[in-house]
Structure formats: C-alpha cells, structure tokens
Amino acid sequence: VAAGRYSDLQLAAFVTACAGEHLDMDETIALTRAMVNAGERMQWGDGLVMDKHCVGGLPGNRTTMVIVPIIAACGLRMPKTSSRAITSPAGTADTMETLAPVDLDVAQIRRVVERTGGCIVWGGSVRLSPADDVLIRVERPLDLDSQGQLVASILSKKAAAGATHVLIDMPVGLTAKVRSAHAANQLARQLEQVGHALGLHMRVVQTDGVAPVGRGIGPALEARDVLAVLRRDDGAPADLAQRSLHLAGQILEFGGAAPAGGGIALATAVLEDGRAWKKFQEICEAQGGLREPPVAPCRQPVPSLRAGTVIAIDNRRLARIAKLAGAPTSACAGIAMHVQLGTVVERGQPLFTLHAASPGELAYALEYATAQAEAVHVMEDAR
C-alpha cells in the first residue's frame, strides 16, 4: 500500500472488506505493526513523550490546539502529529493550517520541539505510517472509517511519532462516531490492547458527545474558537475551554507533572495566566509564523422555524451541511453556531450561519440545510 502498488479499486475493496468489525484483535495488531514499519519512526531519546488523539465524530472538538501549549508550558514534551479530515468538516491539521504551516519534515519537527517542547503538524508530510494516509484517501469518498482500521490508524501514527504515553478522547453520543457506552467500552478495550502490544502506555477518557463543541464547524471557524480560548477573550466558548482543561489535566497527571486530582487546577492556571497563549505563539512562530484565519465572503443565517427550546443537535447532519458548504477544502467554509442545547429561541431567530467561499457552495449547503431542519431540533413552545 505504501509503495503505491495497488490501484484505488483494490484499495477500496480492502477498505470495504475491513469495514464494520471484520478485523479481529490479532489482525488489528498485525495491521498496526505493519503500518508502523512501512514508514519512518521518530526517536526522542530518554524521557516521556506525551500524545493525545480524539476518536472523532464531534464537530468543533478542537481541544488538541489548546492542550499542546498547556502541556509544553508545563515542561512535558508533546510533538503532536495530526490528521486531516476523513469524514468530518475539519481535522486538527486542517484547522492548524489556517494559523501556521503544518507541512514540516522530520528535521523541522525536531527543531520545533527542541525549541518549544511541542508542535501541531500534519503527520502525512513526514511518512509516519504512510499507508494510513493512502487508506484515508480511499476511505474519505467512501465515507468509511471501520473500527479495526480506526485503531490501526490512530496507534500506528502514535507509535511512529515516538509517543510513550497516549491519551484517547472518546466522545460518546447518539450522533457521534461512538454512539453508546457499550460501543465505547468495546473500542476502549481494543485501543488499550493494541496500544499495550505496541509498548504504549494508554489512557482512554470517555467524554460527552451529544452536541458540537464551541461555535465553529470548519477549519477557520474552529481556529477562531481556539484563539478565543487561548487569548482568554470575553465570550470565548466555555465548553471548548472546559473540555480542553479536563483532558490537559488528565495528561499532566498521566505524565507526572501534576499529582492525582491536581491536573485540572494546573492546566487552568497555565491557561488563565497567559502561559498557554505565549507557548502557542512560540510553537506557531517556530513552525513558520502565526497568521489570522481566513474569513468567508459568503454567509447566510439559517432561522428557526418555530419558537421553543433546542432539545437536540445532530452532529452528523451539521457536519454534512458544513462539508456541502465547502469545508474542509475551503478553509473559510463551514457553520457558525448561535445556539446550544437548552437555548430558548424565537421563530425566525438564527440557529446557525452558513459560511462559504462561493455563492454556489452557499446555495448548495443552504438547500440541504433547509431540507434537514431537524439538524437542530427545537421543541415548540407550549404557548
């Protein structure tokens, strides 16, 4: 696969054959090891190397970009290689790319980490598990992300990047990628078993996956949320900040930088006193320079059809709408949310605003959004 010896048709057949739960544990471990061995491996010498990954399925969940500078500011190494979007409107690499270069080679990554203690780069540019990037390219148009390949994809990248300790964020919700506690426990066991087989220290954290995180869905819009949290702006999305601090706290405890139960307090102090923002700026400058994310020229609010209370938000439908608007290919495209679960709205009040790079993409997404009115479900006011 990494050598390019198979056609897309053959690769599609392989991806499809592995879909569902067709890979058993031995096959998943063997696939993960083969993917690691097919590319380069980074070595960081003695000491801990922290890493983190989100299983996905939750739009706007861009915690990595807040966590890395917190961890690095506390003295732990966190060379974060991230993926681009597979079936979502944005991956961490897509979002980070609106703020700083992410296509760094191994030598450049090493220089950034030696200088700052962390990085946020695209893993595909350094041949870390290159077969994974080939398979992702095939999975994307098929809209497939099978469990065995998901585990192999995540952990092959972590092992190849030289991680010693890996925290997995697993959002669980009816419209997230992992939809039930049973499925979450099953996937957690699989990740832990495969991780341990590769010599990794693993910690899986199940988190709330019922609704999007922050306000932006799409690379530039999610980047603006991250900047707001790091800059401690008034009105920064509290849910993104809280999730980031919770996970950063877990990593700090996992890596011994904070005592058990003291991780969140340390992470909060680092964010609130500006050390995280300073470290993020250092990382961006070391990667090639910090810039402001682009702004979409075409926008259209989508109003509520009734007065009432928001009682459900469909992550999958919103992700689909954002992709139809052009995300992640158009970095400025996506959705800016105006409501959360429990928000009381009037008829005609905007639920979210579509952002697009062209009128055609805006119209295309608006047509689908109008047809999928229950993407944000408003229970009608009894009055």
Cα gap 320→367, rounded to integer Å: 12
CB 348 within 8 A of CB 290: no
Q: Would you please indicate which residues are annotated as catalytic (active-site) residues?
A: 145
Instruction: Measure CA 340 to chain center.
Output: 20
Q: Is 190 exposed, middle or buried (0-12, 13-18, 19+ CB in 10 A)?
A: buried
Q: Is the peptide bond before 130 cis (omega within 30 degrees of 0)?
A: no
CB 131 within 8 A of CB 90: no
Residue with tokens 């919700």: 173
Indicate if the alpha-carbon torsion angle 17, 122, 45, 263 is positive or negative.
negative
Residues 6+ apart with CB under 8 A from 147: 20, 21, 23, 187, 190
* 263-272 and 275-287 helices, crossing angle to 10°: 70
Question: How open is the CA angle 179-216-324, to the nearest 5 degrees?
Answer: 75
Length reported for the chain: 383
**Among candidate residues 379, 325, 382, 383, the one with its CA nearest the CA of residue 352:** 325
Indicate if the alpha-carbon torsion angle 248, 316, 356, 89 is positive or negative.
positive
To which H or E segment does residue 42 belong? none
DSSP string, 313-362: E-HHHHHHHHHHTTTTTSTT-EEEE---TT-EE-TT-EEEEEEESSHHHH
CA atoms within 13 A on the CB side of 23: 25
Cα gap 181→53, rounded to integer Å: 19
